[in-house]
Amino acid sequence: MDPDRMDELARDPRFIPGIYNYCDQWCERCTFTGRCMNYALAREEESGESSSQDAENEAFWNKLHETFDATIGRLEEVAEEMDIDLDDEGFDEDLREQEEIRETAHSQPFSRTAMRYIDVVEQWLQSHEGLIGDEPDSSSRGDLHGRGTGDDVAGIQDCLEVIRWYQHQIWVKLCRAATGAIRAATEDMEGMQEDADGSAKVAILGIERSIAAWATLLDHFPDHEDAIFAMGTLKRLLRQTEAAFPNARAFRRPGFDTGGGTD
């Protein structure tokens, strides 16, 4: 995608500026794909793919090269706007500072709880591998297909999809929020705390949706009491996140919270 085309799309009034900054990247479930420039860019790239493997590979590397050229140009512009000299010797010190911020963000209580949740989900999925499938061959699958309707099965599959989608993303969004909050407290960067609140809000939504998904699974499988550990971990994480980012829920995400539909 050449820079001129990107600029053209950026000026298109149908797109909501910045809507992709505070979403969960779940385009298949989003009601705003028609208003998102990132989605439009991805669809344009997909539509240009060739059926020939050689042609696809050539197009892939050409596209990557175009992206590199566009990114380098934009990087230099942003660095100049932020008064950063990428060739200056002090840039190494800046990198070290960023690494310290990253480590601090990862060490926050909510970050550690979110990482723990990732492990809890992974353990649960491994313990109940094959819960849903086209060919029920385990007792869990047999129980599900024997006791539930087609709608029940589809609903449980949706719950598992929600759990898997947010399993890692909650941690990613919280680390981004923590990084923004740390930089807001130590650097004079306008809007950084507000951006952190936006990321925290996306994480909160993922936590709440995951809790609802776990509750639905537990309704269908009351003998799977280990699901309660996942819900308990999420409830603790929700309290930690709301305490660390008290203004997160009030953050207005472009598009999602400013009218035009729901997320």
CA dihedral 226, 231, 237, 242 (to 10 degrees): -170
Domain enclosing residue 118, as ranges? 93-244
Q: Is residue 11 assigned to a domain?
A: yes
122 and 229 housed in the same domain: yes
34 and 164 housed in the same domain: no
37 and 124 housed in the same domain: no
Domain's final residue, options 60, 81, 102: 81
Q: Is residue 86 assigned to a domain?
A: no
**What is the pLDDT at residue 103?**
95
pTM of the model: 0.76
181 and 224 housed in the same domain: yes
Closest alpha carbon to 198 in 233, 174, 224 = 174
**What is the pLDDT at residue 47?**
66
219 and 100 housed in the same domain: yes
231 and 146 housed in the same domain: yes
Q: Is residue 127 assigned to a domain?
A: yes
DSSP 190-223: TTHHHHHHHHHHHHHHHHHHHHHHHHHHHHH-TT
Whole-angstrom distance, CA of residue 255 vs CA of residue 52:
39
Whole-angstrom distance, CA of residue 83 vs CA of residue 90:
13
100 and 11 housed in the same domain: no
210 and 103 housed in the same domain: yes
99 and 185 housed in the same domain: yes
CA dihedral 21, 27, 29, 31 (to 10 degrees): 70
Query: Average of pLDDT values for 199-222?
Result: 94
If one counts the domains in the chain, the total is 2
* pLDDT over 90 (residue 178): yes
Q: Is residue 257 assigned to a domain?
A: no
Q: What is the pLDDT of residues 240-254, one digit of tens each?
A: 999 999 999 999 999
Q: How confident is the model at residue 148 (pLDDT cuts 50, 70, 90)?
A: low
141 and 231 housed in the same domain: yes
101 and 220 housed in the same domain: yes
Q: Is residue 41 assigned to a domain?
A: yes
Q: Is residue 20 assigned to a domain?
A: yes
